[in-house]
Amino acid sequence: MSETIDIAALGGVKEGEKKRPRSKDRRLEIACQSVEDRLKNYDEVALGYSPAEAVAEAMRCLECPKPRCVVACPVHIDIPTFIGHVSRGHFVGAAEDIRKYNNLPAVCGRVCPQENLCEAACIINDTNPKNPIAIGRLERFSADWQFGHSERRADSVAKAPATGYKVAVIGSGPAGLSCSADLAKMGHTVHLFEALHKAGGVLMYGIPEFRLPKAIVQKEVEYVQALGVQLECNAVVGRTMPVQEVLDEFDALFVASGAGYPNMMGIPGENLNGVYSANEFLTRVNLMKAWKSDVGTPIRKPRRVVVVGAGFTAFDVVRISLRLGAEEARIVYRRSREEMPGRGEEIEHALEEGAIFTLLTNPVRYIGDDNGFVKAVEVQKMELGEPDSSGRRRPVPVRDSNYIIECDTVVVSIGQTPNVLIPSNLPGLATRWGSVIKVNRETYMSTVPKVFAGGDAITGAATVILATRAGREAARSIDGYVRDPNRGWYPPAV
Amino acid sequence: MYRITGKKVLATGVVEMTIEAPRVAKAHKPGQFLMVMNREDSERVPLTIADSNPETGEVTIVFLEVGRSTIELGEEFQVGEDLFAVLGPLGTPTHLDKVGTVVVIGGGLGVAPIYPICKGLRATGNRVVTIIGYRRKDLMFWDDKLRSASDELIVTTDDGSFGMKGFVSDALKKLHDEGRPMDRVVAIGPPVMMRAVAELTRPWEVPTTVSLNTIMIDGTGMCGGCRVGIGDETKFVCVDGPDFDGHKVHWDEMFARMKVYQKEEREAIASSPSCRLYFETLKR
């Protein structure tokens, strides 16, 4: 299926030639759907580079001998090498190279906060400010190209001979998928349990289609299955089968159950109709596809929406609301623009699409109508005080500043914590705050022998790339453990 | 994968269905529920498990054809066909400790889920007095099963066409008036019935367990759509329940939350050919 790439025509480096990097050039913008169009559909907003664009952007890379981007990347992708492949027209080679370090390049190329990681570290920032190499876009381009242009058969992947060891992985989100893929390549028998009816975890229920197409996620899942991983959906370990039963059957267990329990503020009126947790709103729309007209799961069409919070999730919610036809979609955030944890591109896209930001403002109660539906939120103005433990300035309420914002929908998007199901069904498993599993950060071993954990289950809600890294590092540790004749156990200090 | 192995219409709109789900059947304990998805694009519907057989790997559900998904499940799916997804058993099992005499009440569809609870309570040494209530005689089902699972069975019908005339709460009040022992009450059925029972037993100070069936998506503690005020806390029905202290449930809030998708449900029913046909048949 591979096609010949005329690298000269694309402006890249020909075979045997030396690269002359054009680092002075401006960073190449990515084509996007127009605001008008994208508000009428759920299709991906950023359209991706064409081969010519990818090569042009790759030609800007200096391919530094001591690349800072690689250090800044949580999984240390060999960025100059893969970009070198792109600039020479070896697109599939670029993708294969990324895959040595990251099992989910098509996903991470889309949702990683590159501007705070690899791209922030790019040396070109020093001489050509705000014009780092668009590493994320090139990662996405390479992975997408590979999906479309190579067989990418899992049976061609170098796999170690079967070891006979059996590992159970709980949760098929980024940590679980990444860990399963690596364990399978190492020759272990892997059984992957997923509670929902589709694999992918937060990639399916949390991140909307217009940021991460579900077909892309399913391609990554299929690839992991093709490596020999046995996927079992509709299986909640701790309910569908006792945790102990799984422990008895397998040599090791990797808990990657994520952070799926929604935080609420505990203010009056939170149980009114029309007040959603972000998880409910997102799951209805993303996993259950409530945005389509012909599916079983409903969503109430919002008219005036207040989204509480300003993380990734809040921006996803506000942008979904606009696509559902909301006339007014407002982010209410207790800090200022500078402290917003959301990804820069998402914030820009949300603003373009008409989201309103009401900053330094916090809800204090929700007001309902006679039928129990929310009709307004009472908010309070805030000002920034001294920095808190997160290093950000702490918001402090302003006296007598309360006022009312009318709305028919509120989505509380102030974070998630891990589900307590596994800890509460596994005696001896040490946690922080009752749900975040404690592990030795070197070995990913918990306080219960055989039980490893990683991803959001050990950190609380974080990013896809950190979960992917945890899955990979845990796989290495699990591999060492199952092969160790003494089965040495190195739990966290409690 | 989740094959329908049995289907029986128990009364108008009440369907008993047996489904192959070996893991669920093996792990099921009284009071737990499962989630059903008819097809890939269907909603996830929580239904209480009415019986299970770990040997054959089958679970039994009894449901009322009331919304688009339950009507389609009852009308479109036949024995031998597969459901897209069955997930369970979910929720915290009913406490079955020995307390003495337990009055177990099932109203309408609630007759089905109390069956495993009656069996379980008896197995731990309780005396089980069961009250089951229906609107009319022709809507009765499973009274024989409940009789075999109870030490004493009282049947009520709203119109008096069978057994005692009146509501289950009337039968409960009669038991209390007669000074019969009553160490605990378990009530499952329509929310109005559960509230009526809880209000009755409150002054008697008899611990009363109710089983809530609120709107939920995942059933594992992820969406929080099922949340309801219990005492001065907010609880998730899917993981903290479905059983709660009936004296602590914020019933008004729960009633309001059950109505959140009424409009959307009406539209869904109107757009489903099976639902239209079902209601036309009912009229005739």
Q: How far is A279 from chain B (nearest CA, A)?
A: 5
Cβ of residue A451 closer than 8 Å to a chain B Cβ: no
Q: Do B234 and A266 touch (CB under 8 A)?
A: yes
Q: How many CB pairs under 8 A join A and B?
A: 123
Residue A234 is encoded by which pair of tokens? 């509709």
- List the one residue out of A413, A462, A475, A472 whose CA is nearest residue A202: A462
**A170, containing H or E segment:** strand A166-170
| Residue from the list A284, A371, A421 with its beta carbon closest to the beta carbon of B221 | A421
Evaluate whether A452 touches A482 at the Cβ level (below 8 Å).
Answer: no
On average, the pLDDT of chain B sits at 94
Query: Which range is least confidently modeled, A362-371, A465-474, B156-165, B261-270?
Result: B261-270
- Helices B262-270 and B273-283, axial angle in degrees (round to 10): 90
Which percentage of chain B shows pLDDT scores above 90? 88
Q: Which residues of B touch A371 (CB under 8 A)?
A: 256, 259
Q: Which residues of B touch A283 (CB under 8 A)?
A: 217-218, 222-223
What digits encode the pLDDT tens for the residues B44-87?
999 999 999 999 999 999 999 988 899 999 999 999 999 999 99
Dist. CA A68–CA A57, nearest whole Å: 18
At residue B31's C-alpha, the angle toward residues B29 and B32, to 5°, is: 70
Report the relative pairing of strands B33-37 and B45-53 from DSSP bridges.
Answer: antiparallel
Q: Which residues of B touch A242 (CB under 8 A)?
A: 27
Cβ of residue A265 closer than 8 Å to a chain B Cβ: no
Q: Do B218 and A195 touch (CB under 8 A)?
A: yes
Evaluate whether A119 touches A67 at the Cβ level (below 8 Å).
Answer: no
Dist. CA B49–CA B38, nearest whole Å: 16
Evaluate whether B236 touches B224 at the Cβ level (below 8 Å).
Answer: yes
**A366, containing H or E segment:** strand A361-368
Q: Coil, strand or helix: which one is A58?
A: helix
Chain position carrying tokens 């040495």: A488
A156: how many CB neighbours lie within 10 A of its CB?
9
Residue A118 has pLDDT above 80, yes or no: yes
Dist. CA A268–CA B127, nearest whole Å: 43
Q: Which residues of A touch B89 (CB under 8 A)?
A: 239-240
Dist. CA B90–CA B96, nearest whole Å: 17
Contacts of A225 (CB under 8 A, 6+ apart): A231
ipTM entry: 0.92
Identify the pLDDT of residue B102.
97
Residue A15 has pLDDT above 90, yes or no: no
DSSP alpha helix (H) spans, A288-340: 312-323
> How far apart, in Å, are the Cα atoms of B33 and each of A487, B4, B263?
39, 17, 26
Evaluate whether A195 touches B23 at the Cβ level (below 8 Å).
Answer: no
Report the relative pairing of strands B82-83 and B58-64 from DSSP bridges.
Answer: unpaired
Mean pLDDT on A385-392:
84
Residue B111 is encoded by which pair of tokens? 């007759």
Q: Do B222 and A205 touch (CB under 8 A)?
A: yes
Cβ of residue A244 closer than 8 Å to a chain B Cβ: no
Evaluate whether A419 touches A257 at the Cβ level (below 8 Å).
Answer: yes
Q: How far is B125 from chain A (nearest CA, A)?
A: 26
Q: Coil, strand or helix: which one is A191?
A: strand
| Residue from the list B26, B217, B221 with its beta carbon closest to the beta carbon of A284 | B217
Residue A399 is encoded by which pair of tokens? 């006296």
Cβ of residue A274 closer than 8 Å to a chain B Cβ: yes
Enter the pTM of the model: 0.93
Q: Which residue of A202, A297, A308, A412 is the best one to mutate when testing the B interface, meaning the one whose CB has the most B CBs within 10 A?
A: A297
User: Which letter does DSSP use for residue A22 in this model?
Assistant: -
Cβ of residue A432 closer than 8 Å to a chain B Cβ: no
Chain B residues with a Cβ under 8 Å from any Cβ in chain A: 23-24, 26-27, 37-38, 40-44, 68-69, 84-90, 217-218, 220-225, 227-229, 234, 239, 250, 252-253, 256-257, 259-261, 263-265, 268
Q: How far is A234 from chain B (nearest CA, A)?
A: 5
Q: Which residues of A touch B69 (CB under 8 A)?
A: 296
A18: how many CB neighbours lie within 10 A of its CB?
6
Mean pLDDT on A55-66:
94
Dist. CA B22–CA A81, nearest whole Å: 50
**B262, containing H or E segment:** helix B262-270
Mean pLDDT on B85-110:
96
Identify the pLDDT of residue A410.
97
Indicate the burial class of B143 (C-beta count within 10 angstroms; 0-12, 13-18, 19 or more).
Answer: middle
**A382, containing H or E segment:** strand A374-387
Evaluate whether A220 touches A104 at the Cβ level (below 8 Å).
Answer: yes
Rg from Cα positions in chain B: 18
Identify the pLDDT of residue A165.
97
Identify the pLDDT of residue B206.
96
Residue B147 is encoded by which pair of tokens? 């009789």
Q: Which residues of A touch B252 (CB under 8 A)?
A: 372
- List the one residue out of A229, A419, A348, A77 whose CA is nearest residue B240: A419
B15: how many CB neighbours lie within 10 A of its CB?
20
| Residue from the list B85, B252, B257 with its beta carbon closest to the beta carbon of A234 | B85
User: Which letter does DSSP use for residue B198 in this model?
Assistant: H
Residue A1 has pLDDT above 50, yes or no: no
| Residue from the list A271, A274, A276 with its beta carbon closest to the beta carbon of B234 | A271
Kindly report the length of chain B. Answer: 284
Q: Which residues of B touch A372 (CB under 8 A)?
A: 252-253, 256-257, 259
Q: Do A300 and B260 touch (CB under 8 A)?
A: yes
Cβ of residue A266 closer than 8 Å to a chain B Cβ: yes
Q: Which residues of A touch B235 (CB under 8 A)?
A: none
Q: How far is A144 from chain B (nearest CA, A)?
A: 26
Q: How far is A434 from chain B (nearest CA, A)?
A: 15
Residue A6 is encoded by which pair of tokens? 């005329």
Main-chain phi, psi angles of A91, to 5 degrees: -70, -45
Cβ of residue A240 closer than 8 Å to a chain B Cβ: yes
Identify the pLDDT of residue B21.
97
Q: From the centroid of its chain, how far is CA A78?
A: 21
DSSP A384-452: EEEE-TTSSEEEEEPTT--EEEE-SEEEE-S-EE--SHHHHTSTT--EETTTEE---TTT-B-SSTTEE
| Residue from the list B68, B87, B239 with its beta carbon closest to the beta carbon of A296 | B68
Identify the pLDDT of residue A152.
63
Mean pLDDT on A33-53:
93
Contacts of A348 (CB under 8 A, 6+ apart): none
Dist. CA A165–CA A252, nearest whole Å: 9
Q: Which amino acid is at B10?
A: L
Q: Which amino acid is at B144?
A: D
- Nearest residue on chain B to A274, alpha-carbon basis: B260
Q: Do B265 and A271 touch (CB under 8 A)?
A: no
Kindly report the length of chain A. Answer: 494
Residue A319 has pLDDT above 90, yes or no: yes
Residue B164 has pLDDT above 80, yes or no: yes
| Residue from the list A239, A241, A294 with its beta carbon closest to the beta carbon of B90 | A239
Q: Do A419 and B23 touch (CB under 8 A)?
A: no
Q: Do A262 and B223 touch (CB under 8 A)?
A: yes
Query: Quick one: pLDDT band at residue A421, thresholds 50, 70, 90?
Result: confident
Identify the pLDDT of residue A149.
81
- List the one residue out of B117, B112, B125, B110 whose CA is nearest residue B95: B117
Q: How far is B218 from chain A (nearest CA, A)?
A: 7
What digits encode the pLDDT tens for the residues A143-188?
999 988 876 666 667 788 999 999 999 999 999 999 999 999 999 9
| Residue from the list B223, B229, B239 with its beta carbon closest to the beta carbon of A279 | B223
For CA atoms B228, A420, A221, A212, give the dihedral sign: positive
Dist. CA A68–CA A232, nearest whole Å: 40
On average, the pLDDT of chain A sits at 92
Residue B159 is encoded by which pair of tokens? 């119109």
